[in-house]
Amino acid sequence: MYCMKFEELRLNRPLLDAVRTAGYETPTPIQAEAIPYILEGKDVLAVAQTGTGKTAAFALPILHRLGDGRSPRPEQQGRRGSRKIRCLVLAPTRELAQQIMDSFKSYGRFCKTRQTVVYGGVNKHAQTRTLRAGVDVLVATPGRLLDHMADGNVSLDGVEMLVLDEADRMLDMGFLPDIRRILAKVPKRRQSLLLSATMPKPIRDLSRDILSNPVSVEVARVSSPAEAIEHFAYRVEKSEKSQLLCTLLENTPFTRALVFTRTKHGADKVVRNLTKAGIEAAAIHGNKSQNARTRALAAFRSGKTAVLVATDIAARGLDIENISHVINYDLTAEPETYVHRIGRTGRAGASGTALSFVSGEDRGSLRDIERLICTQLRPAGDLPGYVAPKVMFAELPHRPRSAAPRGTGGQRNRPRAGATNSARRRPGRGPRRARTAVAS
Q: Strand 436-438: give its sheet, edge to edge.
A: 378-379, 229-235, 352-358, 325-328, 257-260, 307-310, 436-438
Residue 329 identity (one-letter amino acid): Y
Question: 297 CB contacts (<8 Å, ≥6 apart)?
Answer: 95, 284, 308, 318, 437, 439
Domain spans of the chain, in order of start: 6-218, 231-413+430-438
Query: CA 157, CA 431: separation in Å to the nearest integer?
Result: 59
* Domain 6-218 shares a fold with domain 231-413+430-438: yes
Query: CA 178, CA 301: separation in Å to the nearest integer?
Result: 31
Would you write out the chain's pLDDT as a tens digit for each of its 440 residues? Answer: 446 889 999 999 999 999 999 888 889 889 999 999 999 999 999 998 766 789 999 999 999 999 844 344 444 555 444 679 999 999 998 888 998 999 999 999 999 899 999 999 888 999 999 999 999 999 999 999 999 999 999 999 999 999 999 998 888 788 999 999 999 999 999 999 999 988 888 889 999 999 999 999 987 554 556 677 889 999 998 999 999 999 898 888 888 889 999 888 888 899 888 878 877 767 776 676 667 777 888 888 888 888 888 887 666 667 788 889 999 999 998 887 888 888 888 776 677 899 999 988 898 899 888 888 888 888 888 888 777 776 645 554 444 333 333 333 333 333 333 333 333 333 333 333 445 555 54
What is the CB neighbour count within 10 angstroms for residue 379? Answer: 17
Looking at domain 231-413+430-438, its CATH architecture is: 3-Layer(aba) Sandwich (3.40)
Q: How many residues does the chain have?
A: 440
As a CATH number, domain 6-218 is: 3.40.50.300
Helix H or strand E encompassing 129: helix 124-133
